[in-house]
Amino acid sequence: MEGENWRRALVTGGAGFLGSHLCERLLAAGTEVVCFDNLATGSRSNVDHLERYPGFGLVLGDATDALSLHRLPGRFDLVLHFACPASPADYLRLPLETLDVGSTGTRNALQRARADGARFVLASTSEVYGDPLEHPQHEDYWGNVNPIGPRSVYDESKRFAEALTTAHRAVHGTDTAIVRIFNTYGPRMRTGDGRAVPTFITQALRGEQLTVAGDGGQTRSLCYVDDTVDGVLALAASREAGPVNIGGTDEITMLRLARHIVALTGSSSPVGFVERPTDDPCRRRPDTRRAQQWLQWKPQVTWNEGLARTIDWFARTQVTTAV
């Protein structure tokens, strides 16, 4: 792949859940990596094990500070812009910061990529489709987003980031790509993340009630982190601009997910119901034909296998199992 020629990569948000897996994969392939993160939602513990690589460096900084990015020494061949709070708990706690990193942070990362002649990949999201009226969601669908709802700080920051990335490509010829990521899960998610998989796993391992929003009939399409990383790097190594959906195609209700996690953990936890958040999407499943045709990509890890791996990691490193 063309990606084998990446000598140095910059990963903004590299100490986060998904960013740390990208750093790890790039390092394993022989690419030097600068992990750039302000640790607002990331953690040093996600990348501590990467210190053994001579080509790894963690730089504490904020993508919204142009000088911090532009003063990084050397030239990058690849810029992966993954800096942004990604869970509802985080972006509702940090609404202005979320908007800033989607706008100013994206502009700064694009300018660094342009200055270096680097390939730039924007981490966008299935949230650009909002509560979709089209199912499954194809990249040509414009979405159904509430621009002033509580989730808008994330949705609209990513929609703006996509527009900015597209304009940069058109005006400056910057080598850009946009990946729309659907419901990735796996090791290194936080127990207090607020998203369904880590929440249900933590509750089940602790013997607590699993809190399913609404009646649990809303669906998501889970994608294990290794598969998402494969898709992101396949897009980076291609000549495609996107946007490209990367996500699982096996749709599951939140109630079924909760019950399955209880079974996988061997927990006696009951399943209960809580109020459903405002603008919570009813259905979510990507149309991945573009990824299959352009990138020869499709998920390899079943959600059953991926959940088992994730539960094992949480049980070993994060949660004291109830006796």
Q: Give the ranges where the chain is alpha helix by DSSP (H).
A: 17-28, 66-70, 88-93, 95-100, 106-116, 152-172, 196-205, 225-236, 254-265, 289-295, 303-317
Which structure tokens are listed for 94? Answer: 């940090």
Which structure tokens are listed for 66? Answer: 């142009």
- Residue at 291: amino acid letter: A
Is residue 194 within 8 Å of 89, Cβ to Cβ? yes
Is residue 248 within 8 Å of 227, Cβ to Cβ? yes
SS3 sequence, 227-267? HHHHHHHHHHCCCCCCCEEECCCCEEEHHHHHHHHHHHHCC
Which structure tokens are listed for 218? Answer: 């809303």
Which structure tokens are listed for 180? Answer: 């729309």
Q: Out of 91, 129, 154, 224, pick the active-site residue.
A: 154
CB within 8 A of 271, min separation 6: which ones? 209, 210, 212, 216, 255, 258, 259, 262
CA distance 237 to 2: 5
CA distance 164 to 113: 13
Dihedral pair phi/psi, residue 272, rounded to 5°: -120, 175
Is residue 191 within 8 Å of 318, Cβ to Cβ? yes
- Verify whether residue 154 is a known catalytic residue: yes
Could you list the active site residues? Answer: 154
